[in-house]
């Protein structure tokens, strides 16, 4: 069984790495803040001192970091992943980055002799823990087959999105929709609250209709509970809306609702809620319209 490197043990990365370990793969882990590697050391996995060391010791290396800059930080430098790559190593890039960043990373990895899979995931901490993330895999088919066991440990379905870059594009597609839906839900709830409708009735009507969605069931409960623990923070969703609108701008595709959502997330972040869960966009409307959304009947 191949040894799997894992770089990036954040809120998403840690449970993903655990699932890979649970599937029987020996791990070599690295995290910039070293304390986050401790649970892995305790269960007997190897802790590396640098991305380069991970690359040297592993057959495949999963990278799960925050953004374009963090990915570059992992790859470059004397201690970077590229420095440690051997010709047999496959880099599985699972962070949410721009298509340009993943394509640049792929080229750098191939130039360094390695192989590259573009495989961001869709889903939040819950699905990461349960191993039910949607894996947006892209790359040569034979290469995808060779890491299928690792991907299957992390999520399902595994959707084959095409060539390198298409995974990142699919991630933008789905997160564009996610951000728009969250913003739309907040607008609808603010509207209904201003009209004197019962919050529980609104949720019941949503769940009974064509607009029903797991997103609304989860965020509807969270808002009622005043629970804005960051499963997926405002600032990360905001970043994805920025990426998506930028790509669409390059393509000449107007996205008026998405652009409006982007501004709502911008304002929510500006109001100081950037690190809270994306459901906190409702606070923008509460602030502006003097409303209290989510009050349940006693």
Q: Which residues are catalytic?
A: 171
Torsion of CA 247, 249, 252, 257, to 10 degrees: 100
Shortest spacing between CB 169 and its own copies, in angstroms: 4
Separation of CA 20 from chain center:
17
Contact residues for 289 (Cβ-Cβ < 8 A; gap 6+): 190, 194
Task: Examine residue 99 and tell whether it contacts its own copies (CB under 8 A).
Answer: yes
Does the protein bind its own copies through residue 3 (CB under 8 A)?
no
- Toward its own copies, which CB reaches closer, 52 or 170? 170
Q: Could you say which residues in the range 212-231 bind its own copies, by CB under 8 A?
A: 212-215, 218
Among 130, 148, 263, 275, binds its own copies (CB under 8 A): 263
**Residue 7: CB minimum distance to its own copies, A:** 25
- Nearer to its own copies by C-beta: 49 or 246? 246
| Residue with Cβ nearer its own copies (41 or 197) | 197
Q: Rounding to the nearest 10 degrees, give the CA dihedral for residues 116, 120, 125, 127.
A: -100
Please report which helix (H) or strand (E) contains residue 19, including its range. Answer: helix 13-22
Question: In the window 106-145, what residues touch its own copies (CB under 8 A)?
Answer: 122-124, 134, 136
How far apart CA 295 and CA 8 sit, in angstroms, is 38
Q: Rule CB under 8 A: is residue 290 a binding residue for its own copies?
A: yes
Distance CA 218, CA 216 (A): 5
Residue 19 to residue 134: CA distance in whole angstroms? 14
Please give the residues from 168 up to 207 whose contact with its own copies meets the rule CB under 8 A.
169-170, 172-174, 176-178, 180-181, 183-185, 187-188, 190-192, 194-198, 201-202, 204-206
């Amino acid at each position: 069984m191949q040894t799997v490197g894992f770089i990036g043990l954040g809120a998403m990365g840690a449970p993903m790495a655990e699932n890979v370990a649970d599937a029987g793969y020996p791990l070599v882990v690295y995290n910039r803040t070293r304390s986050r590697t401790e649970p892995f050391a305790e269960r007997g996995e190897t802790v590396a001192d640098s991305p380069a060391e991970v690359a040297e010791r592993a057959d495949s290396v999963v990278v799960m970091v925050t953004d374009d800059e963090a990915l570059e930080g992992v790859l470059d430098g004397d201690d970077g992943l590229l420095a440690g790559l051997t010709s047999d190593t496959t880099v599985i890039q699972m962070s949410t980055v721009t298509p340009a960043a993943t394509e640049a990373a792929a080229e750098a990895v191939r130039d360094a002799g390695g192989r590259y899979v573009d495989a961001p995931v869709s889903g939040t901490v819950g699905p990461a823990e349960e191993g039910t993330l949607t894996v947006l895999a892209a790359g040569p088919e034979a290469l995808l087959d060779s890491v299928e066991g690792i991907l299957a440990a992390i999520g399902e379905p595994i959707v084959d999105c095409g060539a390198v870059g298409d995974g990142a594009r699919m991630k933008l597609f789905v997160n564009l929709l996610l951000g728009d839906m969250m913003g739309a839900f907040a607008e609808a709830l603010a509207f209904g609250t201003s009209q004197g409708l019962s919050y529980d009735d609104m949720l019941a009507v949503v769940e009974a209709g064509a607009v029903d969605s797991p997103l609304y069931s989860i965020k509807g409960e969270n808002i009622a509970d005043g629970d804005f623990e960051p499963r997926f923070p405002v600032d990360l969703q905001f970043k994805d809306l920025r990426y998506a609108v930028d790509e669409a701008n390059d393509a000449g595709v107007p996205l008026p609702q998405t652009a409006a959502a982007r501004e709502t997330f911008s304002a929510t972040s500006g109001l100081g809620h950037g690190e809270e869960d994306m459901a906190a966009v409702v606070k923008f409307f509460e602030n502006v319209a003097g409303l209290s959304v989510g009050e349940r009947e006693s």
